[in-house]
Structure 1
Amino acid sequence: MVAASERHPKVLIVEDEESLLFTLAHNLKREGYQVLTAARGDDGLRLAREKQPDLIVLDVMLPGIDGIQVCRMLRRDSDVPIIMLTALGGEGDRVAGLDTGADDYMAKPFGMRELMARVRALLRRSGPRAQPDLGPSVIVSGDLALDRERREVTRNGRVLRMKPKEFELLLFFAQHPGKVFTREQILDEVWGYDFYGGPRTVDVHVRWLRQKIEDDPANPARLRTIRGSGYLFEG
């Protein structure tokens, strides 16, 4: 398979408003992207799984399956960057989208230049970030072992299935045990300074990690919330 950096990235647009779908596809093609389109949620889900796009622009209100459900189903086995679009601009709708695993959120109407900037930023950050070559290649923390070279996490000898960003977030914490980090600091270190998503992205990924590394995710002992400050990893 040819790496995304060695070809034109592939963007899937799932949007049922015909004029907006055409405009988005036209502008993305002008930027040099390969473009796939779907006007229904179920068709978009099928294309996402079959064609493995590098990024998805996903409307919330769709026939077939709505965008929230599409995002939730994709997040079961994919870390593809997702930008959600909606005519509903309330905070509750934005939170719902981010809670299902979307990376960014834009309320209609939006500026095409801003959307293109967000697409570029997410594509830059969607691949594994380079980690400084500090410390051992395998980090052991209690019953956890993180292999930086193999990008693999085991717990009591059992391999944990990790999405790329989950691994990078856990690695960051494991490299800084006992230190409190704000959500903004974590975004800068793990996602990058030009990431457009908000702190809610960190909360969602922390919740996913706790499901895998904690005995009781509802009462975490290893990856703790420090009220008013952020998160702390107990090494």
Structure 2
Amino acid sequence: MTETPSPQILIVDDARDIREPLGQYLTKQGLRTRLAANAAEARVALEEAAIALVILDVMMPGEDGLSLCRWLVARGGPPVILLTAMADETDRIVGLELGADDYVVKPFNPRELLARVRAVLRRAPQPETEVPGRIRAFAGWQHDPGAHKLLDAAGRETPLTTGESRLLTVFLDNPRTVLSRARLLDLTQGRDAKPYDRAIDNTISRLRRKIEADPRSPELLVTEWGGGYLLAADVSETGA
């Protein structure tokens, strides 16, 4: 029986001497971690991986933590624990008003932060476990959604991120059907497409690099101008 993976925690902090030791500590405590030095890296991580909780520094260059927190809450993202400076009571209040779940004041005790992480995870709704689906074939490829991978005609494996595999599953469920960006976001994430419309375009671009002979002239994942995207291939079921 496959073990359920431990929750994955995203640590967003521009200070490397905080980000990396904290990641190592949480990993030793049995959690999976992913690190981001800024809001842009955090958005990529949130698109590519199933993040259970975000530890987010408020004071960062460029887009600050409060802005990213607002974006996360607006799109129904994972729970947030803010890291704030001792004197920044206003930031703590604003963060909680925005929808952050908790905060920890710097400098902090890693054991206290771990306790707060576990408490927030206990309170947070648990995501639905993905059930391995059908293995299906299209255009010389086989898609295994349970393992998040593609097999070519020679049996060579191409790994997929969770987001890529989920999006491809939607196209395989709806072959030769034009799907709008909003519809694709709704089917893959169950959220309103408005906050981050480019997410679908970015994921499709990555998928094209993996399945198209020439990603610059795609023949499988076709753009329908003004409409959305279409999988231009027949789909057949090969197994479970």
Give secondary structure in 2 for the equivalent of 1:186: helix
TM-score by length of 1: 0.56
Shift of 1:222: 0.6
1:73-105 per-residue CA deviation (whole Å, 9 max, x = no partner) reads: x79xx7253867755359xx99xxxxxxxx89x
Contact kept, 8 Å, 1:55 with 1:123, in 2: the verdict is: no
Identical columns (%) = 20
Q: Does 1:162 align with 2:139?
A: no
The 5 Å alignment of 1:16-27 reads none
Q: Does 1:114 align with 2:102?
A: no
1:173-219 per-residue CA deviation (whole Å, 9 max, x = no partner) reads: 01211111111111111112379962221111111111100011112
Contact kept, 8 Å, 1:41 with 1:70, in 2: the verdict is: no
Contact kept, 8 Å, 2:49 with 2:161, in 1: the verdict is: yes
Contact kept, 8 Å, 1:42 with 1:70, in 2: the verdict is: no
Q: Does 1:222 align with 2:208?
A: no
Q: Of the two, which has the highest radius of gyration?
A: 2
TM-score by length of 2: 0.55
Contact kept, 8 Å, 2:8 with 2:50, in 1: the verdict is: no
1:20-58 per-residue CA deviation (whole Å, 9 max, x = no partner) reads: xxxxxxxxxxxxxxxxxx655555676788778457584
Give secondary structure in 2 for the equivalent of 1:115: coil
| Counterpart among 62, 66, 73 of residue 88 in structure 1 | 62
| Counterpart among 132, 135, 139 of residue 138 in structure 1 | 135
Shift of 1:138: 2.7
Q: Give the corresponding residue for 2:12.
A: 14
The 5 Å alignment of 1:1-235 reads 3=4, 9=7, 11-15=9-13, 39-40=17-18, 43=21, 53=31, 58-60=36-38, 68=40, 79-81=49-51, 88-89=62-63, 111-112=95-96, 113-116=98-101, 124=126, 129-130=130-131, 137-148=134-145, 150-156=147-153, 157-193=155-191, 198-235=196-233
Shift of 1:227: 1.7
Q: Distance in 1 between matches of 2:200 and 2:4?
A: 27
Q: Distance in 2 between matches of 1:197 and 1:57?
A: 23
Unaligned runs of 5+ in 2: 69-76, 81-90, 103-119, 234-240
Instruction: Name the CA shift for 1:44/1:201 in 2 (closer, same or farther; >3 Å).
Output: farther
Q: Distance in 2 between matches of 1:56 and 1:150?
A: 20
Q: Distance in 2 between matches of 1:138 and 1:2?
A: 21
Unaligned runs of 5+ in 1: 18-37, 61-66, 95-102
